[in-house]
Structure 1
Amino acid sequence: MVKRVSHENACCPVARPLDAIGDGWSLLIVRDAFDGLRRFGQFQKSLGVAKNILTARLNNLVGQGILETVPAEDGSAYREYVLTAKGRGLFPVLVALRQWSDEFAFGPDEPHYRMVDRETRQPLARLEIRSADGRTLTPEDTVVEMTAI
C-alpha cells in the first residue's frame, strides 16, 4: 500500500488541509457531525466504515482540532465528538461541494438530498466568490500570489 504524503508544510493553501480532510471518510464524518451525529456508533452506522478506519479518521480530526471529544450529553461514561470552531469553519466547503455535486454528479431526474434553509425550506442560493468591493469573480478574474511573511 502506498504511504500517504504529508502536506503539513506545503505553501499551497489547497494542499495543506489535505492532511486533515483530504480523504473521503473525514469529510463524510464532518458532514455527519453537522447533521448532529456525535457518537462513534452513530458515525459507524451512517457511514458503514470499518471501526479501525473510523477510529483513525476520528483521531486525526480530533488531533487536527476539527472535532473535540466532550462528555456525553446524557451523563453516561461515553465521550462524544463535536465540531470545534475550526470544524464549523468547514461549513462553506461542504456547501460548495454539495452545490458542485448537484450540478455535476447527479442527473436532472436523479433523486438526491439537497440543503435548504431551515426556516423557509428553500434551497440555498449558489455560493459566489466576490471581490472585496462586492463584484462576482470567476477563475479568470483571480490570481494566486505569495503572501509576505
Structure 2
Amino acid sequence: MPITPSFLYTVPYTVALRDTDAAGVLFFARALAIAHCAYEAALQEAGFDLRRFFREWAIPIVEVQGRFWQPLYAGDRLRVEVTVLAVAADSFRLGYAFWQEGCDRPSFTGETRHVCIDPDRRTRQPLPAAMVAWLGNATH
C-alpha cells in the first residue's frame, strides 16, 4: 500500500575516484551501489545479521530507477537518505536521495522495489515479521 514517504536511515558518503566515469562524474551504476550500501547499513543498524539474512528468505531487488539532478564529482560529500515509500505483504519500495553539502535539493534520487521469496522454491512469500516491524517503525 502506498504511504507517505518516511525517513528510515541516513549515512554519509564521500564520492571516490573509483565512483566516477571517464568524464569525472559519478557513474550511474555506482549511484545504485551507493544506495544499496546505505540500505545494507540500515539493515545492520536495525540488528539484522547479514550473514544469515538469506537462509529463510530472500528479498531480491526486482525493479530500480534513478535520476541525476546535477553532476557529482570525486570528493563531493553526501548525505544519503533512505526512505520507505510503500509496504505490501510480500514486498516494499525504498527511496534514496543523495544530498550534497550546501545544496537545497538532492543531486540524485532513486527507488528500489524488493520482493520476498522462498530461497529454495523461488516463489513469493510474506515478508518476515522482523522486516515488517522495521519498515513499519519508519512509517510511524
TM-score, normalization by structure 2: 0.26
Q: Which has the larger radius of gyration?
A: 1
Structure with greater contact order relative to length (CA < 8 Å, sep ≥ 6): 2
Structure with more of its chain in strand, by fraction: 2
Structure with more of its chain in helix, by fraction: 1
